[in-house]
Chains A and B, each alone.
Chain A
Amino acid sequence: MDIEETPAEARFRQEIRSWAESNLAPLGKQRVSFADRLAADRRMAEAGYLGYAWPEQFGGGGGNPIYASILDEECSAVGMPRSLSPSRFGVNLLGPVLMAYGSDELKSQLLPPILKAEQLWCQGFSEPEAGSDLANVRSFAIDNGDHFLLNGSKVWTTQAHEADWCFALVRTDREAPRHKGLSFVVFRMDQEGVTIRPIRQMTGDLDFSEVFFDDVRVEKHHVVGALGEGWRVAMATVGAERSFGQMSRFSHYVSQLQWIASTLSEIKNDPRLDMWQAELGQLVVDVQGVRDLSFKTTSLAAAEEGLGVLPSIAKIWWSTTHNRLLDLAEDVAVATGRDTSYWYTEWLRSRAETIFAGSSEVQRNIISERGLGLPR
């Protein structure tokens, strides 16, 4: 057992660090716009770092999960965490699913533009009646001869406006048992019948949208996996969604803790100071917990062992820890009057973290049923 980097891993980190410093850092210095993030993706693509963990046969770098984790951490260190990459839906979620379930035609059509950051994707899973209960999806694709016609809606769709394509879980059989009547499909977002309505969040930002489908055309050869097998295919992306990017979270949270530590050092005579310092200490240790979970998941993944319920534990851990971190930061910001607008926004934004990508309650069900073996 060790957490030391091998000489090869250390060399890779050095290589990435100097590359990111000259190529990504200039983009990450200011408030990072969508255009900056896309530019960063394209530079990564040119350098061969986008899809670094993809197998070489699909044009990837063939890097194992440890290298992917180093890449993630170093990009985050210059303000370009991979968790905000516009290509993440294609690279992290759809790509591996296409490799496992897609036809050869789909792979050769869809994978290369993802690796060049030429085509961006969005994920169409959640619906008004299908949040935590994802299998309750009602958007329906009806057989229309050589294609399907899709009607219904999706919600909480990130970067719907910017995406060229959508991968979605839709119902294709209303008679089948609810998990069996679903299919995983892909379709273009710029076609007639797709209407996007941004949702204004409590921060004032417009990160998500509602997407409405009126007779949207879905090609028959654009079903991933077999018709009616969509649930199984979708679950492969859900696990992936929870496993990536722990190291970029770790370095981002450490930099937020540094602001707290430095601000606390300037506070005198506040009766809450000891309490805040103790909470800072506990948070430092809890944030290390995010890093340690990454050590474990990347080690297991590199050895091609199953991750079990670790992605669910990681999701609960980083979201609740970051919530507490921002509780403290917001308190300290208000007490000192420093950077209050930034921290208030961050605090508000973080409230969503225990809800999106599988709520804490869903994760606790997974941990207790699949991890501990408790009855459903």
Chain B
Amino acid sequence: MDFRFDKDEVEVIEQAASTFKYWLPASRFTAEDGSNEGWTEVMKAGWLSLLDGSSSEWDVPLPLICGVGREAGRVLAGDAFVANNLLAALSNASLPPAFLLADGRTQELMSNSSGSFEGCFGVEPGLIPVKIDRDQCLFAGQVDAWTLKSEPELSIGIGTVSVGSMERLGRARNDVRGMVPVARILHSATLLGAGQQVLDEAVTHASQRRQFGVPIGAFQGVKHPMAEAAALLEVAWNSVLVAALDPSPLAAASAALQAKRAAELATRVSLQVFGGIGMTWEHPLHLYLKAARSARNRYSDNTADALRVAASFSDTYKEASV
């Protein structure tokens, strides 16, 4: 047993982190110009084709992809990171950066709708829409031939997408349903990146911002909730890595339960630490808060996942006691 990343893996993750940070800063969601070349550069660097579906074993180990995904989550690039890596594993054609036309609120990567698609995640300018139908055929739209209808407050690329004509690309290389646990585990990793990022920023703020003559981070009322968030992020991260070592639907549900809870706590705590500043449009914290909140029902909700885990645990025990 060795539950650690080795030196090479740490280096890979650091490289990914600097690419994401440079090309896809979280501020892209609130920037005036909607241009978005970053995704193309990230794709060129290879970070969107880590899942190789052509062999039965992933060329890049899934825990390492989770490590990279966590860095994508730090700049709120998690949803498109997951979608593009899935597409790399599924598509025979090499696609430009894309988002997925599927209702991200269900455990389903496929959709038979046409024209309008509810509940899409990771929708950003510069990306093409891709649909996978129930016959596991892939279809691609054009980069500028779609519109997003969203709550204007949400501002992080979630909503209903309308598309015109789409080109058929052929059948998926791998069983799409079988990819759901991998998608869920990767998504969980990205959520933890988002949570870690805001907590890091909150730590910096709490160390600098002074009230009553001392940095506010010296107050236990401020530092203890941050410690709680740090602990939960650690536990959730371990859960993601364990799931990545054996990506079953149940392991994916466990990882999602922990990651969603940790990301939500980290963003809530950080918002409180930032005080009024965190409430502004200018500061990116609201983007993370919205991402963590809207991810709660991504693929499944926590109650359904918890009931699934409980049922499986009870079944195992019944079998064991017979």
Residues of chain A touching chain B, judged by Cβ–Cβ distance below 8 Å, are: 1-6, 9, 66, 257-258, 261-262, 264-265, 274, 277-282, 284-286, 288-289, 292-293, 295-296, 298-300, 302-303, 305, 310, 313, 316-317, 361, 363-365, 367-369, 371-376
CB-CB under 8 A from B302, the residues of chain A are 282
Contact status A299-B313, CB under 8 Å: no
Contact status B303-A278, CB under 8 Å: yes
CB-CB under 8 A from B314, the residues of chain A are 261-262, 264-265, 280
B185-223 CB mask vs A (1 if < 8 Å, else 0) is 000000000000001000100110000001101101001
Contact status A285-B231, CB under 8 Å: no
How many angstroms from the CA of A258 to the CA of B316 in the assembled complex? 9
Instruction: Identify the interface centre among B6, B228, B235: most chain A CB within 10 Å of its CB.
Output: B235
Residues of chain B touching chain A, judged by Cβ–Cβ distance below 8 Å, are: 1-6, 9, 61, 63-64, 199, 203, 206-207, 214-215, 217-218, 220, 223-224, 226-228, 230-231, 234-235, 238-239, 241-242, 245, 254, 257-258, 302-303, 305-311, 313-314, 317-318, 321
CB-CB under 8 A from A293, the residues of chain B are 234-235, 238
Contact status A313-B215, CB under 8 Å: no
CB-CB under 8 A from B227, the residues of chain A are 363-365, 367-368, 371-372
Contact status A2-B228, CB under 8 Å: no
Contact status B307-A278, CB under 8 Å: yes
Check A2/B230 contact, CB under 8 A, given A262-B321, A288-B242: no
Check A361/B224 contact, CB under 8 A, given A313-B231, A316-B231, A372-B230: yes
Q: Is the interface of A mostly helix, strand, loop or mixed?
A: helix
Q: List 11 A-B contacts (CB under 8 A).
A: A6-B1, A258-B321, A281-B309, A285-B309, A292-B239, A292-B241, A364-B224, A368-B217, A368-B226, A372-B226, A372-B227
Contact status B1-A66, CB under 8 Å: yes
Contact status A376-B218, CB under 8 Å: yes
How many angstroms from the CA of A9 to the CA of B258 in the assembled complex? 29
- Nearest CB in chain B to that of A1: its residue: B63
Besides A281-B313, A285-B309, A372-B226, 11 new A-B residue pairs in contact (Cβ under 8 A), listed by A number:
A1-B63, A262-B317, A281-B311, A285-B257, A295-B1, A298-B3, A310-B234, A316-B228, A367-B227, A374-B203, A374-B217
The listed residue (B1, B224, B242, B309) touching A9 by CB distance below 8 A is B1
Closest chain-B Cβ to A374's Cβ sits at a distance in Å of 4
The listed residue (A3, A9, A278) touching B306 by CB distance below 8 A is A278
Closest chain-A Cβ to B141's Cβ sits at a distance in Å of 38
